[in-house]
């Protein structure tokens, strides 16, 4: 079973618009990561945010983490057609184990 | 090579056959993960190696699945007596450190069991 649940399942926007994806998880964590997957490049790491951080930026990406609500959001600003992909959040489970738990993903389509 | 490689990229097996999937991680990476990804779903954790030690195999769905990394570099995922429900993409990832951190994924092996 997967821990993370992304919302929405699918999102279609115009180029230049912002895209926001949300992730909820069930257990305590040490960190949360976001990954992107498209047919061309496979799964690629985007950003990692630790449990003691609330917000992190990387280029056009902004990630927030609310451990009290067990949720995270990924914002992509000024989207491009090349951002079309599936986006997954992944958590470490926080139990001291080694398992990485991925959600089912948000499928983003950016129309040119 | 610069990244994680996996072979074969595609594998078609008849039900009941054994298959072996290979992963070449990035040189020097301590951690190695195997995942199974069904169509339209996120990757599901199968097993984790730290060097040659298999520290977590809690995600292996049955005793037909076996993984090894005998010298702490190349890893093989073996599936015995394949079933149709084993059809999926099998992903391998490696990371530099022993615990958390960015995982670098290979392109995957798409297994189809007929």
List the single residue in B with minimal CA-CA distance to A1: B44
Report the residue from B42, B45, B99 with minimal CB separation from A103: B42
Confidence of residue B47 (pLDDT cuts 50, 70, 90): very high
Which pLDDT score is estimated for A1?
A: 44
**A65-74 residue pLDDT tens:** 999 999 999 9
Which of A50, A90, A92, A99 to mutate to test binding with chain B, by most B CBs within 10 Å of its CB? A99
Q: Position of tokens 């449990």?
A: A51
Contacts of B99 in chain A (CB under 8 A): 98
**B54-64 residue pLDDT tens:** 999 999 999 99
Confidence of residue A42 (pLDDT cuts 50, 70, 90): confident
Q: Is the pLDDT of residue B9 over 90?
A: yes
Q: Is the pLDDT of residue B97 over 90?
A: no
Q: Say how many C-beta atoms besides its own lie within 10 A of residue B19's C-beta.
A: 18
Structure tokens at B39: 């169509």
Confidence of residue A98 (pLDDT cuts 50, 70, 90): confident
Structure tokens at B108: 């995957």
Q: What is the DSSP letter of B58?
A: T
What's the rounded mean pLDDT across residues A47-63? 96
């Amino acid at each position: 079973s997967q821990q993370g649940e992304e919302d929405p399942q699918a999102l279609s926007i115009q180029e230049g618009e912002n895209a926001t994806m949300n992730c909820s998880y069930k257990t305590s964590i040490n960190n949360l990561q976001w990954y992107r997957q498209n047919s061309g490049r496979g799964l690629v790491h985007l950003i990692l945010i630790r449990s003691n951080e609330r917000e992190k930026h990387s280029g056009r990406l902004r990630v927030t983490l609310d451990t009290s609500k067990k949720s995270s959001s990924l914002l992509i600003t000024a989207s491009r057609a090349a951002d079309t992909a599936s986006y997954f959040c992944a958590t470490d489970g926080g139990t001291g184990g080694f398992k990485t738990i991925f959600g089912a993903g948000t499928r983003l389509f950016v129309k040119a | 090579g610069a990244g994680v490689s996996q072979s074969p990229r595609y594998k078609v097996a008849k039900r009941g056959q054994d298959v072996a999937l290979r992963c070449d991680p990035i040189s020097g990476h301590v951690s190695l993960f195997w995942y199974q990804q069904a169509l339209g779903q996120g990757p599901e954790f199968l097993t984790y190696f730290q060097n040659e030690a298999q520290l977590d195999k809690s995600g292996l769905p049955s005793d037909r699945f076996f993984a090894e990394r005998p010298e702490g570099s190349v890893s093989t995922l073996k599936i015995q007596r394949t079933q149709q429900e084993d059809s999926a993409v099998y992903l391998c990832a490696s990371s530099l450190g022993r615990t958390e951190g960015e995982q670098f994924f290979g392109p995957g092996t798409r297994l189809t069991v007929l």
